[in-house]
Amino acid sequence: MYFLDMDMRVFTQELEPKVPFRIARGTKHYVENVFVELRHAGITAYGEASPNRFYGETAKQVKEKLGSVKSALSNLSINSPTDIKDHWKASWEYLAPSRAAQCALDLALWDLLGKKKDESVSRLLWNEPAHALTTSCTLGICEENEWPARIAEIKDFPIIKIKMGSPSDFPFLEYIRSQTNARLWVDANCAWQAEEISEVLRQLHAQNVEMVEQPLPPAEDNAMSAILQLSPLPVIADESCKIISDVEGLHGRFSGINIKLVKCGGITPALEMIKLARRAGLQVMTGCMLETNLLIAAGLAIAQKADYVDLDGSWLLKESLFEGVVFNKGELSLCNRSGLGVSTTGMYDN
């Protein structure tokens, strides 16, 4: 039994994207992520959360919630994934309503267990190492004078995901299609109108777009059944699918779900969401926010069983606090290390 008489440190760090990251809801010039560091028996384990105001989360609130759980760790024992699952449920007493705080702690415990057992988290989850996967690379909404430089960087990548705030962004899509043969995905981030969606989906299909994420706000999910019946493309729920209990209600409204660890509370609930999605006949996508290689590595472990992979969050940043994830023109792989497989870089705040 691993008794966690440990030191726990929680801190925040501002992270800057390479270029301002613009979606339908606004532009991000930086994000403030929250990090957990656990030290026990000579092992240091890490967790991360990328709080998002859309889900009612801020870095300050997440940090405060994580501070409240320290006392509970002294009586915790971790010997198996089942122990982590039990703690994930029990910690909600301290961390509610913050799924982001739950995510950061959950990742740190998985990293700790993997390092103690000298196994990768992927092997703990699936009994096999993490295989290299192809991820989409995101193009945020941008002005026409920015198009050539933005597409030049990724036109040879295999999958491009386009943030598309409205049908008025079609010229951007058409320009991208003229410059690359990459597979194209589109993310609306809840910005479209119900009456226009069927025609928009038809036009996207004509441009060989493969799938669309979240065209309407979650409050309008009832309209999605009729839209899905007529859609020539898979439609994936993102903002409409946050936690485990959301999954079953999306059958018949969406083709699949986008699992983001910070939305649902970490690796532990993501496993259950995959099971429920498959049972409901839904496809699975693994997504991310703007986040370091630490969260991306955890997402990559989950993505081993996904249909769509969108884990470019650290590639979009100027710098990352962690290394160990290899990003090569849209192909993601992990170094062969225990735990989540990452280590700190020189810019990590010690």
| Residue of 189, 193, 187 lying closest to 211 (CA atoms) | 187
Q: What is the largest CA-CA distance in the chain?
A: 59
Q: Report the pLDDT averaged over residues 44-55.
A: 94
Residue 190, pLDDT > 70, answer yes
Residues 6+ apart with CB under 8 A from 86: none
Q: Report the pLDDT averaged over residues 293-311.
A: 97
Question: In one letter, which amino acid is 12?
Answer: T
Give the HSE-up count for residue 247: Cα atoms under 13 Å, Cβ half-sphere.
Answer: 26
Sort strands 209-213 and 235-237 into parallel, antiparallel or unpaired: parallel
pLDDT > 70: percent of the chain? 95
Residue 4, pLDDT > 90, answer no
Protein fold of 133-344? TIM Barrel (3.20.20)
Residue 297, pLDDT > 50, answer yes
Residue 3, pLDDT > 60, answer no
**Residue 69 or 228, more confident:** 228
Tokens at 301, concatenated:
């472990």
Tell me how far apart the alpha carbons of residues 149 and 133 are, in angstroms, rounded to a whole number.
26
Q: Across the chain, what does the average pLDDT equal?
A: 91
Q: Which of 163-167, 254-258, 311-315 has the lowest mean pLDDT?
A: 163-167
Q: Report the pLDDT averaged over residues 30-34.
A: 93
Q: What CATH architecture applies to the domain 7-126? A: 2-Layer Sandwich (3.30)
Tell me how far apart the alpha carbons of residues 132 and 121 are, in angstroms, rounded to a whole number.
15
In this structure, what DSSP letter does residue 131 have? P
Q: How far is CA 34 from CA 22, 30, 51, 103, in A?
A: 22, 13, 8, 10
Tell me how far apart the alpha carbons of residues 312 and 175 are, in angstroms, rounded to a whole number.
22
pTM (two decimals): 0.94
Q: Cα 140 from chain centroid?
A: 16
Phi, psi (deg, nearest 5) at residue 334: -115, 145
Tokens at 5, concatenated:
């008489």
Give the HSE-up count for residue 89: Cα atoms under 13 Å, Cβ half-sphere.
Answer: 7
| pLDDT confidence tier of residue 5, bands split at 50, 70 and 90 | low
Give the HSE-up count for residue 193: Cα atoms under 13 Å, Cβ half-sphere.
Answer: 5
Q: Which of 56-70, 246-260, 269-283, 295-309 has the lowest mean pLDDT?
A: 56-70
Angle at 28 between CA 97 and CA 11, to 5 degrees: 50
Tell me how far apart the alpha carbons of residues 302 and 266 are, in angstroms, rounded to a whole number.
10
Residue-wise pLDDT for 116-164, tens only, equals 999 999 999 999 999 999 999 999 888 888 889 889 989 899 999 999 8
* pLDDT value for 141: 83
| Residue of 179, 257, 169, 185 lying closest to 221 (CA atoms) | 257
Residue-wise pLDDT for 62-115, tens only, equals 999 999 887 767 667 788 999 999 999 989 999 999 999 999 999 999 999 999
Give the HSE-up count for residue 195: Cα atoms under 13 Å, Cβ half-sphere.
Answer: 0
Helical segments of 235-333, H only: 261-264, 267-279, 293-302
In this structure, what DSSP letter does residue 312 have? -
Tell me how far apart the alpha carbons of residues 312 and 332 are, in angstroms, rounded to a whole number.
9
Residue 2, pLDDT > 70, answer no
Residue-wise pLDDT for 264-287, tens only, equals 999 999 999 999 999 999 999 999
Question: In one letter, which amino acid is 228?
Answer: L
* pLDDT value for 54: 87
Q: Report the pLDDT averaged over residues 292-321.
A: 96
* pLDDT value for 170: 85
Q: How far is CA 64 from CA 69, 196, 291, 297, 313, in A?
A: 9, 43, 20, 25, 25
Residue 339 near residue 120, CB atoms below 8 Å: yes
The residue ranges of every structural domain in the chain are 7-126, 133-344
Residue 300 near residue 324, CB atoms below 8 Å: no
